[in-house]
Amino acid sequence: MKTDREKPVVVVRRPRVHRGGHHGGAWKVAYADFTTSMMSLFLVLWLMTQSPDVRAAVAGYFRDPMGRERYTGNSASQGGGTGADLARLQGNRTLMEMDRAHLRALGDRLRRDLEKTPEWARVKNQVEIELTHEGLRIQLLEDSAGTFFQTGSSRPSAGGAALIRFIGSELAALPNAVVVEGHTDSRPYPSQNGYTNWELSADRANAARRILDEGGLRPQQVRHIRGYADTQLRMASDPFAPSNRRVTILMLLASDSAVAGGASAAAETPVSPSAGAPGAGSGGAPAAGDAPKAGR
């Protein structure tokens, strides 16, 4: 009789039954979904940092990829942009950023150079240099004694002329257009022949323009000479404050320079007295009989 050790070992092999289809590539679908989600997230984050024009162009492209809305009168700004429109907008945005960087560097250099002049300690609180949405703005703020222009006159002081001439030499480093503006306070100009704050503000702006030209600013860079009188007070709470009397020199961004250069002269109506206007003497100054009031 055989013992337990001598009994044969029986191995039963049962075939495996596959229930359902093959799942070896399921991970690829999950990975594709994950990648798509990440790309969507990055696209949203990128759009959040873009300008409204770029966002509108992207929205227009997804709404009308073939650009058919152009035939119905829509444009990229209305949401009907194409890929070419988006590229153009991105290029314009890059150029504008570069232009702002150039103007910011010019403002920093101008401030450093002015700090080296002996007059800077006396006028540093009356010169403002800032980069705005329009461009580089330089404001020369008057005080009660008349730092940059003689009181009640469009004749610049010696120190004021030297400073404006120096600014002109610095601004000539860039080709951007320049706008010169004159402002006064709300104190009426004491004249009997019709010479008012309108003429005074325009004459001072034009006098500053001539000095800028002497400093090296090219005549074709000047786009507008504007006289605002007291319509744009710097300190509206104190209409008679001396700092309301100022000359502003604005170097425009390149895009604004192109628009200004192509605008018709009739679009701007700067106030400036004619050569034979009453009360205007040589260089736009008031006639000798007009005694300027203190604080003008």
Q: What average pLDDT score do residues 106-134 get? A: 89
Q: Is the pLDDT of residue 194 over 90?
A: no
Mind listing the pLDDT tens digit for each residue in 133-170?
Answer: 899 999 999 988 888 998 888 999 999 999 999 999 99
Q: Which domain holds residue 261?
A: 117-284
Asked whether residue 67 is assigned to any structural domain, the reply reads: no
Q: Is the pLDDT of residue 272 over 50?
A: no
Asked whether residue 23 is assigned to any structural domain, the reply reads: no
Q: Is the pLDDT of residue 220 over 80?
A: yes
Instruction: Kindly report the average pLDDT of the chain as a whole number.
Output: 77
From residue 161, give the alpha-carbon distance in Å to each of 104, 105, 154, 203. Answer: 24, 24, 11, 14
- Paired tokens of 139: 């404001």
Asked whether residue 279 is assigned to any structural domain, the reply reads: yes
Nearest in space to 195 (alpha carbons), one of 280, 282, 293? 280
Asked whether residue 295 is assigned to any structural domain, the reply reads: no
CATH number for the domain including 279? 3.30.1330.60
Asked whether residue 82 is assigned to any structural domain, the reply reads: no
Asked whether residue 143 is assigned to any structural domain, the reply reads: yes
- Paired tokens of 136: 């580089």
Overall domain count for the chain:
1
pLDDT: is 142 or 119 the higher one? Answer: 142
Asked whether residue 74 is assigned to any structural domain, the reply reads: no
Model pLDDT, residue 63? 72
Q: What average pLDDT score do residues 117-143 get? A: 90
Asked whether residue 70 is assigned to any structural domain, the reply reads: no
Nearest in space to 111 (alpha carbons), one of 119, 120, 102, 98? 120
